[in-house]
Chain A
Amino acid sequence: DSGVTQTPKHLITATGQRVTLRCSPRSGDLSVYWYQQSLDQGLQFLIQYYNGEERAKGNILERFSAQQFPDLHSELNLSSLELGDSALYFCASSPQVGGDYGYTFGSGTRLTVV
Chain B
Amino acid sequence: DQQVKQNSPSLSVQEGRISILNCDYTNSMFDYFLWYKKYPAEGPTFLISISSIKDKNEDGRFTVFLNKSAKHLSLHIVPSQPGDSAVYFCAATSGAGSYQLTFGKGTKLSVIP
Interface set of A (CB-CB < 8 Å, partner B): 2, 4, 33, 35, 40-45, 48, 55-56, 58, 90, 92, 94, 97-99, 101-108
Contacts and interface: CB of A to CB of B under 8 A. Distances in A.
Given A42-B4, A43-B89, A102 B46 contact: yes
Contacts of B32: 101
Interface string B19-42: 000000000000010101000011
Contact of B43 (A41, A48, A99, A105): A105
B5 to A, nearest CB: 9
Contact of B89 (A42, A45, A101): A42
B105 interface: yes
A43 B34 CA distance: 13
- A-B CB proximity, top 7 nearest: A56-B98, A105-B43, A98-B99, A42-B103, A102-B46, A43-B103, A42-B105
B53 to A, nearest CB: 14
B34 to A, nearest CB: 6
Interface string B83-113: 0000001010101011111111110000000
Interface residues of B, number: 26
Contacts of B46: 102-104
A103 B100 CA distance: 10
Contacts of B98: 48, 55-56, 97-98
B34 A101 contact: yes
B43 A102 contact: no
A33 B98 CA distance: 10
A97 B97 CA distance: 9
Q: Which of the listed residues B32, B41, B43 has the most CB atoms from chain A within 10 Å of its own CB? A: B43
Contacts of A44: 103
A98 B43 contact: no
A98 B45 contact: no
Contact of A42 (B34, B42, B104): B104
Given A2-B43, A58-B100, A101 B49 contact: yes
A94 B101 CA distance: 12
